[in-house]
A and B are shown apart, each in its own frame.
Chain A
Amino acid sequence: EPEVTQTPSHQVTQMGQEVILRCVPISNHLYFYWYRQILGQKVEFLVSFYNNEISEKSEIFDDQFSVERPDGSNFTLKIRSTKLEDSAMYFCASKANGGSYEQYFGPGTRLTVT
């Protein structure tokens, strides 16, 4: 069964460093998402991406964040200058098309900022 994959599973970085979290969505899916879950808090929407551009973003997704689809398979989330409060589990998700309601999630990347 096709699945969303994410790498790395755990990333430790120092405050102020740039990190790139990587995702491989399900093949042939057209919509891509990033969500995050700070420990003990709800899963929060960050951004959705379709047709090589951001379709929606939350107020969390400020200028420190960017997303990219560098090739036909990867979808990345970059945090330019990490802060302690960026420590969270980051989930990537994908959806087949605009008429689909099923979002499939990856296993997550745990980001720890020290």
Chain B
Amino acid sequence: GEDVEQSLFLSVREGDSSVINCTYTDSSSTYLYWYKQEPGAGLQLLTYIFSNMDMKQDQRLTVLLNKKDKHLSLRIADTQTGDSAIYFCAEGSSSGSARQLTFGSGTQLTVLP
């Protein structure tokens, strides 16, 4: 079945760039997603990328997709303390219109002052 893997922890200094990495196994994935979870809150959709794209930029967020290596990354420019959260990578099943999501275990991003 599908599997999505992420490293568990990342620490960066405020103002630096953060890069969170993810690998997935399902070559038929249509869309790949990044969600953010702050303490006590739900999963906030940050951005997503279609599998025929290499890159998507949205303000401070840049998503890079290497479909050959099944590698997805999220770069956060000028990381702020408010960016401290758990970031989940997810891939969307291409079968059916419901398109359930398969999540990674999440990367805890800590932004140090």
Whole-angstrom distance from the CB of A67 to the nearest CB of chain B? 13
B34: chain A residues at CB < 8 Å are: none
Total number of A residues with any Cβ neighbor in B under 8 Å: 28
Chain A window 82-114, contacts with chain B (Cβ cutoff 8 Å), 1 for yes, 0 for no: 000000000101010011011111111000000
CA of A99 to CA of B50 in the docked complex: distance in angstroms?
13
Main secondary structure of the interface of A (DSSP, over half): strand
Residue of A43, A56, A58, A93 with most partner-chain B CB within 10 A: A43
Total number of B residues with any Cβ neighbor in A under 8 Å: 25
B92: chain A residues at CB < 8 Å are: 101
Looking across the interface, which residue of chain A has its beta carbon closest to that of B6? A42
Known contacts being A55-B96, A56-B98, A105-B35, is A42 close to B103, with CB within 8 Å? Answer: yes
Chain B residues packing against A (C-beta within 8 Å) = 4, 30-31, 35, 40-45, 48, 88, 90, 92, 96-106
